[in-house]
Structure 1
């Protein structure tokens, strides 16, 4: 089992996307929000993950944007299989809730990948830039046509949090469209109902979503990943569970700072 790759896949299949047919409302997150997770497999704590909104606006083209980062880092015995220190990020337009840029800095063992994608959401174009292992020199640049406005691996989840979810019924579907790794993905999120969970930040009523994941050798079943999102105004993830062919991988919220609503 390669736990870093599993973490990447889980984050991708849930976080990437946009929702067709709904209009975003006022965002339930704000500058300085920080969510910290522990990643475990059975009794083993494999990694720490963090989702963080920068404390100050990112300025570009005379506009203020959110800069949002997701970090994943192995710890303890998991480093035996390869040390991981990954960072996915997005620069999110505060008005449209679509990204103007995404980036990935991947460090897994000896493997390195440094990538930026610049989005022209008005003209439906993405410019991908790939840099060398030291993240100094540009080694590849390619332009992609988009079928419309898209999200990236990080921005999609924050967009989802802006939507009105309270009237959803079990079985309702949210269609996802995202751009990642040079491809367009359209994936369904199925609403599976609600559940009350005991979490590190107290007892929470939650929405449960399952993204439809293409068949592969890692996951078990058509909907192997479940995500629990609080039903309060913050709409933060408190748990993500992936059923593997052997056991399950869990991401559990350990702390939340800087939430917009108390």
Structure 2
């Protein structure tokens, strides 16, 4: 399987989407207009930038109000010279049911291209996957698949995670994850391992710590080498994640946060 720097980042972030009904916080963790920017590095080498953007506009999709959420990634420095990446993952996220109504991704990684749009029909528990031409983006193929009820896509899963009330979980709890990706249901698991105070650009911030549990493969040298820190406040924004990969340690850290709905849990 082809793995770019952003593909690795996506593997970590998007395995965190929940399809089960856990207790949610009473207030939404984000609002329209929220913008987050993270920078990835391998060792001391800057590798990529990833932004998370919630649109200012509420869109109607399938007669449901939705946030349009885009995650954009691009390589930087030497990585941009040898294998440039310009990826866009996006979704229309139902503001009331917290499920995806439409998902899309436009992938440009070196010479590799992949464009697709997924149309969800949660009433029928099905999704229509449309494949688009790698350059013109004209429709080439469409297929329909059965999906679990209220399944998440690879973007909404992360935003649903932020709505979870971690005060209702116990340290060590493992939560099963159901997402639909690459034409199939992809269940994952994530463990809530506790809380830490970590140093960030914004000061010392309280965080909840999660460890995605994935099978060992050629990318990850050991099992359970991924670690994710989310702010331990009502925002639950990503502060940092770290992964031990075959070329060293991949670190991704939050560098910019705008239009947060709630105060960040900075330790005074």
TM class by smaller structure: over 0.9
- Asked if the contact 2:15/2:177 (under 8 Å) is kept, the reply is no
- Asked if the contact 1:35/1:253 (under 8 Å) is kept, the reply is yes
Residues in 1 aligned to 2:197 and 2:132: alpha-carbon distance in whole angstroms: 45
Name stretches of at least 5 consecutive residues in structure 2 with no aligned partner.
264-268
Residues in 2 aligned to 1:171 and 1:259: alpha-carbon distance in whole angstroms: 29
Give, in angstroms, the shift of residue 135 of structure 1. 4.1
Q: Which residue of the partner structure matches residue 166 of structure 2?
A: 165
Write out per-residue CA displacement over residues 90-135 of structure 1, whole angstroms, 9 at most, x where no aligned residue: 1000001000011000011121111100111121101000100224
Partner of 1:54, secondary structure, is strand
Give, in angstroms, the shift of residue 19 of structure 1. 4.4
- Asked if the contact 1:2/1:81 (under 8 Å) is kept, the reply is no
- Asked if the contact 1:13/1:213 (under 8 Å) is kept, the reply is no
Partner of 2:211, secondary structure, is strand
Q: Which residue of the partner structure matches residue 187 of structure 2?
A: 186
Matching of residue 251 in structure 1 with residue 215 in structure 2 = no
List aligned pairs for 1:28-47, cutoff 5 A: 28-47=29-48
Residues in 1 aligned to 2:236 and 2:141: alpha-carbon distance in whole angstroms: 38
User: For structure 1, which segment, 101-110 or 134-143, has the greater mean C-alpha deviation from structure 2 after superposition?
Assistant: 134-143
Q: Which residue of the partner structure matches residue 128 of structure 1?
A: 129
Q: Which residue of the partner structure matches residue 266 of structure 2?
A: none
List aligned pairs for 1:203-214, cutoff 5 A: 203-214=204-215
Write out per-residue CA displacement over residues 193-231 of structure 1, whole angstroms, 9 at most, x where no aligned residue: 111011112211100001111221011222111110111
List aligned pairs for 1:223-234, cutoff 5 A: 223-234=224-235
Matching of residue 3 in structure 1 with residue 13 in structure 2 = no
Q: Which residue of the partner structure matches residue 93 of structure 1?
A: 94
Write out per-residue CA displacement over residues 44-87 of structure 1, whole angstroms, 9 at most, x where no aligned residue: 00111001101111123443211111111001111132110001
Residues in 1 aligned to 2:246 and 2:135: alpha-carbon distance in whole angstroms: 36
Q: Could you say if the C-alpha distance between residues 81 and 180 of structure 1 is closer, same or farther in structure 2, counting changes exceeding 3 Å? A: same
- Asked if the contact 1:34/1:52 (under 8 Å) is kept, the reply is yes
The TM-score normalised by the length of structure 2 is 0.92
Q: Which residue of the partner structure matches residue 238 of structure 1?
A: 239
Q: Could you say if the C-alpha distance between residues 196 and 149 of structure 1 is closer, same or farther in structure 2, counting changes exceeding 3 Å? A: same
Write out per-residue CA displacement over residues 10-55 of structure 1, whole angstroms, 9 at most, x where no aligned residue: 33333xx324241434321000000100000000001110011011
Residues in 2 aligned to 1:13 and 1:220: alpha-carbon distance in whole angstroms: 18
Residues in 2 aligned to 1:74 and 1:251: alpha-carbon distance in whole angstroms: 13
**RMSD of aligned alpha carbons:** 1.6
- Asked if the contact 1:201/1:256 (under 8 Å) is kept, the reply is no
Residues in 2 aligned to 1:19 and 1:200: alpha-carbon distance in whole angstroms: 32
- Asked if the contact 1:34/1:256 (under 8 Å) is kept, the reply is yes
Matching of residue 215 in structure 1 with residue 216 in structure 2 = yes
Give, in angstroms, the shift of residue 2 of structure 1. 4.4
